Structure 1
Amino acid sequence: MVQKLIEISLRNRFVVLLAAAVLFAWGIYSIQQNPIDAIPDLSENQVIVFTEWMGRSPQIMEDQVTYPLVSNLQGIPKVRNIRGTSMFGMSFVYVIFEDNVDTYWARTRVLERLNYAQRLLPPGITPTLGPDGTGVGHVFWYTLDAKKMDLGEQRALQDWYIKFALQTVPGVAEVASFGGFEKQYQLVVDPVKLQYYRVSLMDVMNKVKANNNDVGGRKFEMSDMAYIIRGLGYVKSKEDLETIAVSNYNGIPVRVKDIGTVQMGGDLRLGIFDENGEGEVVGGIVVMRYGENADKVITAVKKKMGEVQRGLPEGVSFKVAYDRSTLIEAAIETIKGKLFEEITIVCIIVILFLFHWRSALSIIIQIPITISISFILLNAFGLSSNIMSLTGIALAIGVIVDNGIIMSENSYRNLSDWQNNPANKPKQP
């Protein structure tokens, strides 16, 4: 079989060369399309369901949120396992699917089941899906260098400007903010004054919620002109909150400032983010979408950060805390260096032992063609270029070279035996 294949190849040299050229071109295209990452994605095919109910203990979260969700998500097809975790004010449910299941098909099935499980949860509690990323999707971390801004202002800048801008980058699933304080209006009521004015705490909550709202009215026509009537009621300052009426006492309105004080403060924090022991910082984590090219996503994020930088306040800049592209570029440079070294060594060895440049050329040509074909197979099986796959290719180059040298040496030996065989010598006339 092998001899027959060699005979066909020798008799159809141009077809073999054309096939090799086509495979090489296809391989170059596959190299450009293949996703590049530093580490292989060995995480499970999972969908995360996150539920927040602040102020509740882990036991309440387990009984009223986690357990109903886990019980009703078990009927989803192609599910391998379901895990639940409850903590203070938060619940996480991990739905593990089979490896061959499409990620977005799995997310759709989970959403369908959550519509049914929603009625089993406490009123006002809405579970949400986590980002469509993986366990190794945290490809880029950054912090804000803003010495003249407090942590609350930095967090507001991150949440309401930088985060929204970076989320528009193709391939980014989420930009998670960390550090700082989330600003909020805090109403500190005096229980003695509540009792004096005969106002309950629930009345205060309802009145504040009702007054922090814009309402629409009807259309008013006058002199052949139509005017849209609307009521503006959104709270924009502490003074707006303080003047909200919550009740009346003997015909006199009781305002918020009559029963307590309003102050600006930060939301409850479960931890802080410190950078190199120099103090707290605010920043974000860029989560890459499933199946994207990490190197291209990081490059696009850096380009977008350059555009966002022009709109930041004076004295505010970005600091890179973690950049996976440095490891990716190092892996690529390693495979390029090894490829150049092995090609050089092969040329020297073949020329020294065979003294024939055509034999050396035939061996060298095998290396780029074989490597390019390997990227075709990587794309076919949905694998990315990472440290593991590139290292395997680098190690396989030695096998390719050994095979070429052995075949060349074997061809020389057979030709020598054929030439030294008396039966093959031409007869004298």
Structure 2
Amino acid sequence: MVHKVIEWSLRNRFIVLMLSLGIFVWGVISVKKNPIDAIPDLSENQVIVFTEWMGRAPQLIEDQITYPLVTNLQGLPRIKYVRGSSMFGMSFIYVIFDDDVDIYWARERVLERLSTVSSTLPTGATPQLGPDGTGVGHILWYTLDAPKLDLGEQRAVQDWYIKFALQNVQGVSEIASFGGFQKQYQVTVDPNRLLYYKLSVPDVINAVRTNNNESGGRKFEMSDIGYIIKTSGYLQSIEEIENIPVANQNGNPIKISDIGTVQMTGEARLGIFDQDGEGERVGGIVVMRYGENAAEVIDRIKLKMKEVAKGLPEGVKFDIVYDRGELIKESVESIKRTLIEEMIVVSIVVIIFLFHWRSALSIIIQIPITLAVSFILLNAFGISSNIMSLTGIALAIGVIVDNGIIMSENAYKHLSERYEQWESSNKKSSEI
């Protein structure tokens, strides 16, 4: 079979050259389409389910949330295994699917199962899906350089302006905010006053909830003019919360201010984000969507940041603290430079040792064609151009050249043997 292929190739050299040229052009197009990243994505094909039930101990979280979810999610199709983790106020479920399963198909199956399981969970515990990213999806970290704003104001700008704008960028799964204070009204009740007025904490919570609401009205006409009636019941200040009545005793209203204090403060924090030892910072983490091109997503994010920066308060600007784009560029450029240097050195060595330009050309021309085929296969199998894949291609060049040299020497050997046979036959014919 191999002899027939070689014979056909020798007889149809023009067709072989055209096929090689076509493969090379296809490879060049594949290089431009191939996604670029610094490191390969070796994370598992997983869907994360997290549930908040604040204030509960890990053992209670394990018994009431994690265990029911794990046992119900284990029956999903094309699943490998389910992992569960419980901590204070939080439950995490990691559903691992087969590697060839589409991630969005897997998320749909998990959502279908959660719709039937949620009714068995405690009140206030609602399972949610994590972002459709991977373990290496953190492609860019940024902070806000805002010396004129306090940490609460910076976090408000991040959560209510920057986050919504950057989440619209194509290829972004999530913008995770960190640092600063999330403003909230905090009601601190006095246990002794609650006991004195014979009230409980649920009574206070219920009073605040019922008074922080709006109800619809109706339309009525007066003097040929239509009016729409509505109530505005949302709490907007500390004074309004303090004046909320909790109960009525002997005709006297018991207000929030009678049993505790109300203040504007930040949500309780478990840590801070300090940058370069110069103080706390507020910022965000850009999480890339599954299967996206990291280099292109980073370029889109930076372009969007320039647009968002025009609407920031005076003196506020972005400070990028981690940018995988720079790592990608440096890694790819290093590998490209190595490939070019290796091709040049190999070509010189082949020419010097063979000292025959046609033989050297037949070996050297294999290198770009093989690289083209490599990128065609990378696209076919969904593998990105990263340090590992490009290094493998660089190491394979030596094997390609060795094979070419062996084939050339083998061809020379057979040609010399045939030439000797031809010379001996000519001598015999001349003697006759």
* Cα contact 1:331–1:390 (8 A) shared by 2: no
- The residue type equivalent to 1:128 in the other structure is Q
**2:286 alignment partner in structure 1:** 286
Measured after TM superposition, the shift of residue 414 of structure 1 is: 4.6
Q: Do 1:419 and 1:425's aligned partners in 2 also have CA atoms closer than 8 Å? A: no
DSSP 3-state at the match of 2:209: helix
Alignment of 1:257-268 (within 5 A): 257-268=257-268
What is the count of residue pairs matched by the alignment? 429
* Correspondence 1:21-420 to 2 at 5 A: 21-195=21-195, 199-416=199-416, 418-419=418-419
Kept in 2, the 8 Å contact 1:346–1:360? The answer is: no
Runs of 4+ in 1 over 6 A off after TM superposition: none
Structure 1 pair 424–408 and aligned structure 2 pair: CA distance change class (3 A): farther
The alignment's C-alpha RMSD in Å is 2.4
Contact 2:53–2:124 under 8 Å retained in 1: no
Displacement, 1:418?
4.6
1:336-376 per-residue CA deviation (whole Å, 9 max, x = no partner) reads 11221122223322333344444443333221211111111
CA shift, 1:251, in A, is: 3.9
Moved more, 295-304 or 194-203: 194-203
Distance in 2 between residues matched to 1:153 and 1:82, nearest whole Å: 41
- CA shift digits 1:120-170 (9 cap, x unpaired): 111121000111111111122122222232222222221111111111111
Say if 1:418 and 1:424, in contact at 8 Å, map to a contact too: no
AA at the equivalent of 1:26: W
For the residue of structure 2 that corresponds to 1:7, the secondary structure is helix
The more displaced of 24-33 and 74-83 is 24-33
Once the two structures are superposed, residues 28-77 of structure 1 have per-residue CA deviations (whole angstroms, 9 ceiling, x without a partner) of 22222222221122111111110001111111111111111112112112
Partners of 2:348 and 2:95 in 1: CA distance: 56
CA shift digits 1:203-246 (9 cap, x unpaired): 32222112222221111122333222211122222233233333
Q: Deviation at 1:398?
A: 1.5
Query: In 2, Cα distance between the equivalents of 1:44 and 1:91?
Result: 20
d(CA) in 2 for partners of 1:400, 1:387: 20
The two structures have a TM-score, normalised by structure 2, of 0.92
Greater Cα shift, 86-95 or 403-412: 403-412
Separation in structure 1 between the aligned mates of residue 5 and residue 340 of structure 2, nearest angstrom: 31
Q: Aligned AA for 2:134? A: T
After TM superposition, give the deviation of residue 192 of structure 1 in Å: 4.5
Amino acid at match of 1:309: A
SS at match of 1:228: strand
The answer for the alignment partner of 2:12 in structure 1 is 12
The one-letter code of the counterpart of 1:41 is D
SS at the partner of 1:154? helix
Distance in 2, matches of 1:424 and 1:33, equals: 58
Question: Per the alignment, in what secondary structure is the counterpart of residue 320 of structure 2?
Answer: strand
SS of corresponding position for 2:365: helix
Q: Which runs of 5+ in 2 are unaligned?
A: none
Answer yes or no: is the 8 Å Cα contact 2:180–2:280 preserved in 1: yes
- In structure 2, distance between residues paired with 1:49 and 1:250: 50
User: How far apart, in 2, do the equivalents of 1:294 and 1:121 lie?
Assistant: 38
Q: CA deviation at 1:10?
A: 1.6
The 1-side partners of 2:262 and 2:426 are apart by 110
**Does the CA contact (< 8 Å) of 1:183 and 1:266 recur in 2?**
yes
1:54 counterpart letter in structure 2: M
Task: Answer whether contact 2:34 2:379 (CA < 8 A) is retained.
Answer: yes
Query: In 2, Cα distance between the equivalents of 1:424 and 1:333?
Result: 58
